[in-house]
Structure 1
Amino acid sequence: KLLSHAQRDHSCVGDPLSVTRTRMLLALRINVLAKGYSGTSLETLEAMIKAFNASCLSWVPEKGTVGASGDLAPLAHLALGLMGEGRMWSPQSGWADAKTVLEGHGLKPLQLKPKEGLALINGTQLITSLGAEAVERALSVAKQADVIAALTLEALRGTTKAFHQVIHAARPHPGQIQVAQRLRSLLDSEVFPSQISESHRSCSRVQDAYTLRCIPQVHGVVNDTIGFVQKVISTEMNSATDNPLVFVEFRETISGGNFHGEYPAKALDYLAIGVQELASISERRIERLVNPTHSELPAFLVKEGGLNCGFMVAHCTAAALVSENKTLCHPSSVDSLSTSAATEDHVSMGGWAARKALTVVEHVEQVLAIELLAACQALEFLHPLKTTAPLEKVHELLRSVISPWDRDRVMSSDIKAAHTLIKQQKVWKTVQPFMEEYRRKMKCDWEYSSSTLRPSQTPTLLSL
């Protein structure tokens, strides 16, 4: 009974986690306990697995952790439902009394044994579960940002010269090389010629603005940032993070600090700062699309500009989201407030780092959705010229759910539809077969990218 007080006297505030996020939280908690360092019984672990398999999920508010002795408050709420107290959700019952939900699935509330009260509430699983989602969504949007940027470059009649292999081999950051490869596989080449590119091949423009010319350098470091954070979060997901830890082989129970959330907190602050740059550069590309001074396209990408606003307010929305992200990118992990009578005197604030990283990623998705809409609208004004086969397919994908703009209409539903395409990775899935075809036919492009130029070398390069 005394041990169960650890669950009852911890409290959070705010809206509950979504069902999907609570399920992820429970999965990670089970994974940690299954490692055998937490001192929990097999009976308790099996009961948690049965609850997970039945999707019996506790009511866990999203706010209230400082990431000190782990995510004490939210994990306490997670355990409370499993004990048959508070509220719980399942597909069968919806939200209801926890004991009733468990009994409806033939499950018994947990009866805590020695050490189990602490074991169930100690750890970084809230930070890590939300962080894992942020990483996965960041990986997805970063790939699709390259595709959308390629569409914009075509719509603005930019050059592909800045993406030549030799440039990126001379500064061989992995992400930069990867993004340049993707752009080469999507834009005008021997494999996928572009009528748009051919139409301005002899123009007098020497080079493009940074938002087009420097896509590999800016998008590339985002890719490398996400890769670093992915490694940290993957390690954290598969680590014993509660306290004290039980080492059976040494017959020792040792108090330590694996619960401290600094690793995922710092990494997720870094993720937010990194992935935000995709929105920042995207918004500048949107500006070039809607501004006839830079684009040679109709103002705000609509006919009869005096009667229609076109993409003017959509650009304002993108600018607003980028501005919000600038505030959200202030690192939460640089803050610390002493808690628990100065025993927990340095904390990570990792819960907030995870939640705002997710918010930043969602804003990035929405800004890129607006760029996708604007780039495809711009291509309408270049007809009958066509872009490359993969980019034409992306244009067709968008047009399967959103018609071109000929006069003003409610745009929020269009942005939402484009955002859904990005969240479902449909933009990426559309171009993947074409990128594989390019890779097969231009094998030397991929092989060369892994090499590094030396001053004495004069490489023979494929002209793209």
Structure 2
Amino acid sequence: MHTIELDGDSLCCQDLYDIGYKFGDINVTVSQEAKNRIIQSRNVVQDILDKNQVKYGINTGFGNFATVVIPNDELSALQRNLIRSHCAGVGKPLPIERARMLLALRINVLAKGFSGISLGIVESLVAALNKNCISYIPEKGTVGASGDLAPLAHMALGMMGEGTMWNPNTNKFEPANGVLAEHELTPIELGAKEGLALINGTQFMAALGSEALVRAKNVALAADVIAALSLEGLLGSNKAFDARIHRARRHNGQQQVAKRLRHFLFGDYNQQTKTHSQQSEIAESHRGCHRVQDAYTLRCIPQVHGVVHDTIEFCLGILENELNSGTDNPMVFADQAHGGDALIEDWNEQIVSGGNFHGEYPAKALDYLAIGVNELANMSERRIARLTDPNLSGLPAFLVNEGGLNSGFMIAHCTASSLTSENKVYVHPASSDTLSTSASKEDHVSMGGMAATKSLTLIENVERVVAIELMCACQAIDFLRPLKTTPVLESVYELVRSKVAYYDKDRHLSPDIDAIHELVRSGQLWQVANKFLPKDDNY
């Protein structure tokens, strides 16, 4: 059992993804330093209550009701009502893996010590997460204004013993109070500010965005491998990947993709001499041919794939900042040494209202991510078109013998085209829209939840398109036999053939596409190729 310690400062997208998708292998804890901060922050809230001060979110209403003061004996009811009223999400429930990610991320934000929540509630969240007792959270209903209010409220509702919750013993949603009791968990009881502390933040969009980034990075690396295999199948030139060309343009992503392609296409790499040994019989078979330049989807792979990698790295920086950010309102500053502007008279107040809940940062990053990753499908679909067109490939039409009797990959290409065209809708930026909510108190919203969900849909489409390209590229290699490509690409070919047989006559293709999609999505494809790369390169 691997333990991931949440401290509010060091969570990365990959760790959050693993918490979601590797339940049973990972246990979550909160660092002692974080526990101390949580206690100190709660003491500030209690001090305000003891002094009968009025502070937003502690003893007032919310949003447009911020001026309504709530008596002390109704503060717990105020927090319970907040959770219940904000449970207005609709649609299918989040897959349990993504709901785990959301819960873990909210714990990480609480660990920063800016929320004013009690340590007992945080420990209850950790216990539920580690036992896989996860609240039912609908996918739709957040605008990313005061954070992801509806999804986070549903998360909190189950922990209160209300609504429904995933029961890992039966693998279905059941009444939350029964699930908690069955797993020896106690429903949380909310004190002042604690309901607000659970729902004010960007954890829905940031959790789903983390999965999008992990999968985007994986599919981008896989696309580099697959493009190299397609280039071999189409008898393309490797001269366009000359390091001098790419150094002249300076962009890091472009240079890294070109470097990977050289490793894939030039065979084994000698660590001592820092040289490659050309072992592609396919490449040797057409060396010196009349073709001077390939089509752009072959020749410009580093330029187009490169900016995708750079986009992913840029967005990763924004999202990992967001994972470790305080996104509450109001924020609780137990340590006044945080300081403020000396020109502001009340700079040393410990409860300060602001707007860190606003989802514009992750929303913009995820919109940009979708625009970038989409280009992998645009390139891949065009290479599929070349592989299946005998006038462009020199191979049998639709990569099958006895064409006419057999249709081969004709409709697989249509599927790739359909997914690529569908993605043209998903690249429209969700964050370019805004609607005023909460009686115009929340008069600009991010639509970050939509940016996250559509990015995930787009990335899955890209995974499937490049999976179809991989199938076509392997089929092209079969038609070039007995010639072999480089050892790394032969290993990729063998991995594919271990899951999907050579296409000798028409058969049901959907299971094949699903099997190769899993090789791409799971990272198995990249793991095979990565074994051949120089170990001193950071891939």
- TM-score, structure 1 as length reference: 0.93
**What residue number does 1:87 align with?**
164
- 1:162 Cα deviation from its structure 2 partner: 0.3
Q: Does 1:266 align with 2:344?
A: no
Seq. identity, %: 60
**What residue number does 2:454 align with?**
356
> Does the CA-based 8 Å contact 1:30-1:48 persist in structure 2?
yes
SS at match of 1:338: coil
**What residue number does 1:30 align with?**
107
- 1:322 Cα deviation from its structure 2 partner: 0.4
> Does the CA-based 8 Å contact 1:135-1:226 persist in structure 2?
yes
Q: How does 1:197-236 map to 2 (within 5 A)?
A: 197-236=283-322
**What residue number does 2:481 align with?**
383
Q: Does 1:18 align with 2:86?
A: no
> Does the CA-based 8 Å contact 1:300-1:311 persist in structure 2?
yes
> Does the CA-based 8 Å contact 1:302-1:311 persist in structure 2?
yes
- 1:193 Cα deviation from its structure 2 partner: 1.3
Q: Does 1:153 align with 2:239?
A: no
SS at match of 2:236: coil
Aligned equivalents of 1:44, 1:302: Cα separation in 2:
61
RMSD: 1.2
Aligned equivalents of 2:283, 2:257: Cα separation in 1:
20
SS at match of 1:88: strand
Aligned equivalents of 2:504, 2:104: Cα separation in 1:
49
SS at match of 1:303: coil
**What residue number does 2:324 align with?**
238
- 1:41 Cα deviation from its structure 2 partner: 0.7
Q: How does 1:320-331 map to 2 (within 5 A)?
A: 320-331=418-429
> Does the CA-based 8 Å contact 1:192-1:389 persist in structure 2?
no
AA partner of residue 175 (structure 1): G
AA partner of residue 332 (structure 1): A
AA partner of residue 213 (structure 1): R
Q: How does 1:71-82 map to 2 (within 5 A)?
A: 71-82=148-159
Q: How does 1:327-346 map to 2 (within 5 A)?
A: 327-346=425-444
Q: Which moved more, 1:247-256 or 1:351-360?
A: 247-256
AA partner of residue 219 (structure 1): H
SS at match of 1:400: helix
- TM-score, structure 2 as length reference: 0.81
- 1:291 Cα deviation from its structure 2 partner: 0.4
Q: How does 1:156-171 map to 2 (within 5 A)?
A: 156-171=234-249
SS at match of 1:136: helix
Aligned equivalents of 2:286, 2:378: Cα separation in 1:
28
For 1:23-73, what per-residue CA distance to the aligned partner results, in whole angstroms no more than 9, with x for missing partners? 000000001111110010111111111111111100000000000000000
- 1:314 Cα deviation from its structure 2 partner: 0.4
Which runs of at least 4 in structure 1 moved beyond 4 Å after TM superposition?
Answer: none
- 1:192 Cα deviation from its structure 2 partner: 4.3
SS at match of 1:62: strand
Q: How does 1:410-429 map to 2 (within 5 A)?
A: 410-429=508-527
SS at match of 1:434: coil
- 1:90 Cα deviation from its structure 2 partner: 2.9
For 1:126-156, what per-residue CA distance to the aligned partner results, in whole angstroms no more than 9, with x for missing partners? 0000000000000000001000000000000
Aligned equivalents of 2:403, 2:92: Cα separation in 1:
43
AA partner of residue 141 (structure 1): V
Aligned equivalents of 1:433, 1:335: Cα separation in 2:
44
Aligned equivalents of 1:262, 1:88: Cα separation in 2:
30
> Does the CA-based 8 Å contact 1:59-1:77 persist in structure 2?
yes
For 1:172-229, what per-residue CA distance to the aligned partner results, in whole angstroms no more than 9, with x for missing partners? 1010000001000000354241000000002111010000000000000000000000
AA partner of residue 342 (structure 1): S
AA partner of residue 25 (structure 1): L
- 1:265 Cα deviation from its structure 2 partner: 0.2
SS at match of 1:3: helix
Structure with more contact order per residue of length (Cα contacts < 8 Å, sep ≥ 6): 1
Aligned equivalents of 2:500, 2:278: Cα separation in 1:
25
Q: Does 1:113 align with 2:191?
A: yes
> Does the CA-based 8 Å contact 1:369-1:422 persist in structure 2?
yes
Aligned equivalents of 2:323, 2:136: Cα separation in 1:
22
**What residue number does 2:175 align with?**
97
**What residue number does 1:368 align with?**
466
Aligned equivalents of 1:198, 1:51: Cα separation in 2:
60
SS at match of 2:533: helix
Q: Does 1:409 align with 2:507?
A: yes
Structure 1 residues 52, 322: closer, same or farther in 2, change over 3 A?
same
For 1:70-124, what per-residue CA distance to the aligned partner results, in whole angstroms no more than 9, with x for missing partners? 0000100000000000000131243211011111111110100101011111100
Aligned equivalents of 1:222, 1:409: Cα separation in 2:
35
**What residue number does 2:335 align with?**
249
AA partner of residue 398 (structure 1): V
Aligned equivalents of 1:192, 1:84: Cα separation in 2:
65
> Does the CA-based 8 Å contact 1:12-1:74 persist in structure 2?
yes
AA partner of residue 524 (structure 2): K
Aligned equivalents of 1:319, 1:93: Cα separation in 2:
40
Q: Which moved more, 1:257-266 or 1:42-51?
A: 42-51
For 1:287-329, what per-residue CA distance to the aligned partner results, in whole angstroms no more than 9, with x for missing partners? 0000011100000000111111101100000000000000110
AA partner of residue 211 (structure 2): E
> Does the CA-based 8 Å contact 1:240-1:258 persist in structure 2?
yes
SS at match of 2:531: helix
- 1:379 Cα deviation from its structure 2 partner: 0.7
Aligned equivalents of 2:155, 2:251: Cα separation in 1:
42
Q: How does 1:281-320 map to 2 (within 5 A)?
A: 281-320=379-418
- Structure 1 unmatched ranges of 5 or more: 441-445, 448-464
- Structure 2 unmatched ranges of 5 or more: 1-76, 268-275, 337-348
SS at match of 2:174: strand
AA partner of residue 252 (structure 2): P
**What residue number does 1:127 align with?**
205
AA partner of residue 39 (structure 1): G
Report the number of matched residues.
440
Q: Does 1:4 align with 2:102?
A: no
> Does the CA-based 8 Å contact 1:124-1:260 persist in structure 2?
yes
> Does the CA-based 8 Å contact 1:188-1:194 persist in structure 2?
yes
Q: Which moved more, 1:34-43 or 1:85-94?
A: 85-94
SS at match of 1:89: strand
Aligned equivalents of 2:401, 2:285: Cα separation in 1:
23
Aligned equivalents of 2:125, 2:117: Cα separation in 1:
11
Aligned equivalents of 1:421, 1:76: Cα separation in 2:
36
**What residue number does 1:64 align with?**
141
- 1:271 Cα deviation from its structure 2 partner: 0.3
**What residue number does 1:181 align with?**
259
Aligned equivalents of 2:359, 2:167: Cα separation in 1:
30
AA partner of residue 7 (structure 1): I
**What residue number does 2:59 align with?**
none
Q: Does 1:172 align with 2:250?
A: yes
